[in-house]
Amino acid sequence: MFEGMGFLPTFSDVREQVAAKESFVKPFVDTLAADTKFVPASPAWARIDASQVLPTMFQEIVSGRKDVATASRDAAKSMDEAFGSAG
């Protein structure tokens, strides 16, 4: 799955093998190993995820349509609205 689609392996030993071959993967593998929590435990997250807030922010930055400060401020506003509506 990693070679074909870029998905990190589920098993930690296989993730380590991928990180050894592809150095750009190591920070992501280290983050997973640190037991990082990736999304808030909130019903609002489903709305945020479905509306592609973060992927849109990243695309706006990478494409140059918005600078980092503007894109992240807009994304934060959208997330704040979603969290606020979730109660």
**Residues 55-85 pLDDT 10s:** 999 999 999 999 999 999 999 999 999 999 8
Q: Which of 38, 29, 39, 34 is nearest to 83 (CA)?
A: 39
- pLDDT tens digits for 8-67? 888 888 888 988 888 888 888 888 888 777 778 888 999 999 999 999 999 999 999 999
Q: Which two tokens stand for residue 9?
A: 């392996």
Q: To the nearest 10°, report the CA torsion of 44, 47, 52, 56.
A: -60
> Nearest 5°: CA angle at 5, between 75 and 67?
25
pLDDT of residue 28: 85
pLDDT of residue 87: 66
pLDDT of residue 24: 86
12-42 b/e with 16+ CB inside 10 Å = b? eeebeebbeeeeebeeebeeeeeeeeeeeee
